Amino acid sequence: MAVLLLAAAPARADSPVEPGKVFVGGEGVSVAVVPLKPRAEKKVLVRVTGSGTVFDDKVILHKLEDSDGRRINYETTYHGRDWVTLSARDGAYSLAAPGRRDGGGTLKFDEAKSKALNADDLYKAHQKQQADGTLQALAAFNRKEEAARQDKQMGETIDSFTKRCGYKLPVKINWPSISDDDIKELSLASYCGEPLDAMGRLCEESPEAKKTIGAAIKSFSCTMGPAMQLDLQGSTLNWTTSRSGRNMGEFARKYLEKKL
């Protein structure tokens, strides 16, 4: 918490914001944090720059969650789901920006940039982006975009199967069975991909299993349902995954070893 108390550029007495802070990371990443008045409401504006993501130059409203002074989260809504953009653990800050796996690395308070920060200008930019729909578009759930993101992650699981089992397996996801909440809250690469991973491990462990899988399974489908189920119909392995499912990889392996 000591970092947040360092001096920053003064704001007008009638300003809706308080003096802000700037944190910097590697590769030109910078994060400006400006508290809104009254501070007791714990609302802040956060502007990320230099991350190479959709968050760059957006001045986004966040809620400050500070439970014990050692664990701090700056939370917002991104594509319909909760998102922690900036977090601090024992005074060490880190950034999470969409599509950037390494975030921004560890961020450090920059006193000079904090003093130069114009909090009122940041507030005006936020108002403009709010009025022109920029921020609403960023917060709104976009099923098409989110499904494409999940498809990309699923592609990595499929590529792993191809490498380990030696052939490309056509994969179909039954999208109508998957709700918006499923897309927002779950990793389909995990929920749909566990049987693919189980087969990949079997292929690695045994040349005989690799040959058997290649001969028996020519396509794969994934559906969201009330309970886990695997069913080999002809040469198509139909997988029903479930939010209530547990130990999916073990479930899939036992089925495959018994069926094949």
Q: Cα 125 vs. chain centroid, distance in angstroms? A: 26
For residue 10, the surrounding DSSP H or E stretch is none
Q: Which amino acid is at 221?
A: S
What span, in angstroms and rounded, lies between the C-alpha atoms of 9 and 29? 21
pLDDT along the chain (260 residues), means of 10: 43 82 93 96 96 96 86 94 92 88 78 97 98 96 91 95 98 97 93 97 96 97 97 98 95 94
Q: Cα dist. 189→98, 158, 183 in Å?
A: 17, 9, 11
What's residue 257's pLDDT?
Answer: 94
What's residue 4's pLDDT?
Answer: 45
What's residue 7's pLDDT?
Answer: 43
What's residue 26's pLDDT?
Answer: 85
What's residue 13's pLDDT?
Answer: 64
Question: With a threshold of 0.85, does the pTM exceed it?
Answer: no
What's residue 67's pLDDT?
Answer: 72
Cβ-based neighbours of 121, under 8 Å, separated by 6 or more:
none
In sequence order, what are the beta bridge partners of 94?
87, 106
Number of H helices, E strands in the chain: 9, 12
What's residue 100's pLDDT?
Answer: 78
For residue 216, the surrounding DSSP H or E stretch is helix 207-216
At residue 7, φ and ψ (nearest 5 deg) are -65, 145
